[in-house]
Chains A and B, each alone.
Chain A
Amino acid sequence: AQTVTQSQPEMSVQEAETVTLSCTYDTSESDYYLFWYKQPPSRQMILVIRQEAYKQQNATENRFSVNFQKAAKSFSLKISDSQLGDAAMYFCAYRSAPGNQFYFGTGTSLTVIP
């Protein structure tokens, strides 16, 4: 089975600064998707960004961008110009291209300091 590892249980960043959350995964598949989800205190899972493994270009969504290193099986999330509303638990997730099941990491709790 695929595994997703987030080695940073907690991170903090000053408001307006940049922070990078780490994620590594293990798979023998060549075609898959990677995701970052945000879970604020409301517990609603919100999709932040998605990356297709076949795309070499890193995905970007406004202040959020990823550094996808397929050979290293690394998928980090960079949040620029951090805002107070970015404070949440962030989960990295993997999904096989033909499959439905998500494999989630253990999460990183991000605190934004005013």
Chain B
Amino acid sequence: GAVVSQHPSRVICKSGTSVKIECRSLDFQATTMFWYRQFPKQSLMLMATSNEGSKATYEQGVEKDKFLINHASLTLSTLTVTSAHPEDSSFYICSARDRTFNYGYTFGSGTRLTVV
């Protein structure tokens, strides 16, 4: 079946630094990638949607200059948290939709970001 590999699974960074999270679709071409944020014991909140080769579309309230999304190829999308602060600590999950939609929407395994 379709697999989305997300790395790293956990990362701890110092306040003010940047962190990059990668999501790769292993068995299919992901034309669309979604990035979610999940706070403890809460639901997933969509941050942005990116289509391969296009600029990401951000949800209201999400700072596009802080959360940089790149979707340069059909198998790789990255989320970079720039100048991270403790309030950015959260669980980030990507989800990919394949070109043919045969696989529907596949989620990555998530990244636990802790900013100290």
Chain A residues in the interface with B (C-beta under 8 A):
37, 42-47, 50, 91, 100-102, 104-107
Shortest beta-carbon distance from A53 to chain B in Å: 16
Specify which chain A residues have a CB less than 8 angstroms from the CB of B107 in the assembled complex: 37, 44-46
B93 proximal to A (CB < 8 A)? yes
A101–B44 CB distance below 8 A: no
Shortest beta-carbon distance from B81 to chain A in Å: 18
Tally inter-chain residue pairs, CB-CB below 8 A: 40
Which chain B residue lies CB-closest to A37? Answer: B107
Specify which chain B residues have a CB less than 8 angstroms from the CB of A100 in the assembled complex: 32, 34, 49, 97
State which of B34, B43, B46 has its C-beta within 8 Å of the C-beta of A105.
B43
Query: Told that A91-B43, A101-B49, A104-B43 touch, could you supply 19 new A-B pairs with CB distance under 8 A?
Result: A37-B107, A43-B91, A43-B110, A44-B109, A44-B110, A45-B44, A45-B95, A46-B107, A47-B105, A91-B44, A100-B32, A100-B34, A100-B49, A101-B46, A102-B95, A102-B105, A104-B44, A105-B43, A107-B43
A102–B43 CB distance below 8 A: no
